[in-house]
Amino acid sequence: MQRARQIYAYWTICTSCPNLLADEIIFVEKGGIDTNEISVQGNHVFVSIPLKDTTIWLETTNQYCPFGYLGDFTDNRIVLSVSDKSTKLVRTPAYADTANKQITLATIALDAEGTINANVEIASSGVQYDSKYHLELLQKEDQEKHYQQYWSYLQFLKLNSIQFMNDKRKIQYTETIALEAKKYATMSGERMMIPAMFFHRNDDIPPKNTSRKQPIDIARGYYDDDTYTLELPQGFAIEALPKADLSTEFGNYKLETEIMSDGKLKIRRSILIKSGRFAPESYEAWVRFKKDISRYDQSKIILIKKSL
């Protein structure tokens, strides 16, 4: 039927490997067919369907993978397309940095004892979809274990509900979680200290290397955006709010807050990490950028008890 409609599907040979996001930085070339060497290559086969204006890529070994989605297993690399008449080298699509998104929205109620009750929604797309869509296939116990590990810094975490929506047309995976965590905020005298990044913190810092010789290859960039709406406890006033705005060759970081008209506090943090190759001399700046991200992600909102 495909041939009758002049639609042809070709076996496509590639070297597959999950090139990592920048948080797990690698310093090697992206996987793919080595065009400088004549040899038997490749460890994976999938299907390509060339059309007039585009090519459809079909993963044939993963029944859960959305139509036309490659993910980090076979994206952005040289592959060998094999037809009944010829073979040719082509490159699979690359995901733009801003397409690898994780958008987190949360409404949070904080009481005077430091306990939070929250509804959290996490929407992932691009390569970040690839690390999420398996969650619905896990047993409930393993799903809870995943979030206990993901939010390991939350004490006495209670997961009240977990729901998933896998939109295979948009290729977007949405997690919706209702939770409670005790002792999230701590008291110091009359002041309450509240970590501003409730549900997404960066604490990975590359090791020091003062004599680096190799370039820095960030295989994939990404964009994370977190927005929290916080209901403050009765009897407290805002004393200090965090703020940060960084711009480097590796990407951008911004942390800002806004006191809303209803007295709630909105916290927003965005991170853009850029893919690319950077000079060895830039490694110290990369480490410094990652340290700054980690430091600002540890920022605290400070409340003070109101005078009677």
Distance CA 195, CA 150 (A): 16
Assigned domain for 4 exists? no
Query: Does residue 151 share a domain with residue 298?
Result: yes
Query: Does residue 247 share a domain with residue 207?
Result: yes
Query: Does residue 66 share a domain with residue 167?
Result: no
Number of domains in the chain: 2
Assigned domain for 86 exists? yes
Query: Does residue 45 share a domain with residue 120?
Result: no
**46: nearest Cα among 4, 105, 93:** 93
Query: Does residue 50 share a domain with residue 144?
Result: no
Assigned domain for 2 exists? no
Assigned domain for 3 exists? no
Structure tokens at 99: 């397409």
Assigned domain for 147 exists? yes
Query: Does residue 251 share a domain with residue 188?
Result: yes
> Starting from the edge strand earliest in sequence, which strands make up the sheet with 78-82, in order?
55-58, 44-50, 10-14, 78-82, 87-91
Domain boundary among 91, 115, 133: 91
Domain boundary among 27, 61, 91: 91
pTM of the model: 0.86
Query: Does residue 166 share a domain with residue 288?
Result: yes
Assigned domain for 131 exists? yes
Secondary structure (DSSP) of 24-83: G-B-SPPPS--TT--S---SEEEEEEE-SS-EEEE-SS-TTSPTT--GGGTSSSEEEEE-
Per-residue pLDDT of the chain (308 residues), as tens digits, is 445 456 788 878 777 765 444 333 333 344 565 666 655 576 777 788 888 888 888 887 777 888 888 888 778 788 878 877 778 888 888 899 999 999 999 999 999 999 999 999 999 999 999 999 999 999 999 999 999 999 999 989 999 999 999 999 999 999 999 999 999 999 999 999 999 999 999 988 999 888 899 999 998 899 999 999 999 999 999 999 999 999 999 999 999 999 998 989 999 999 999 999 999 999 999 999 999 999 999 999 999 998 76
Query: Does residue 156 share a domain with residue 78?
Result: no
Range of the domain at 65: 10-91
Query: Does residue 48 share a domain with residue 128?
Result: no
Query: Does residue 117 share a domain with residue 51?
Result: no
Query: Does residue 132 share a domain with residue 81?
Result: no
Assigned domain for 1 exists? no
Residue 148, domain CATH: 2.60.120.1130
Q: Mark residue 131 as left, alpha or beta (left: phi above 0; alpha: psi -120 to 50; beta: remaining).
A: alpha
Distance CA 94, CA 79 (A): 13
Assigned domain for 191 exists? yes
**β strands within 83-171, DSSP E:** 87-91, 101-110, 116-125, 158-167
Query: Does residue 166 share a domain with residue 32?
Result: no
Domain boundary among 91, 107, 141: 91
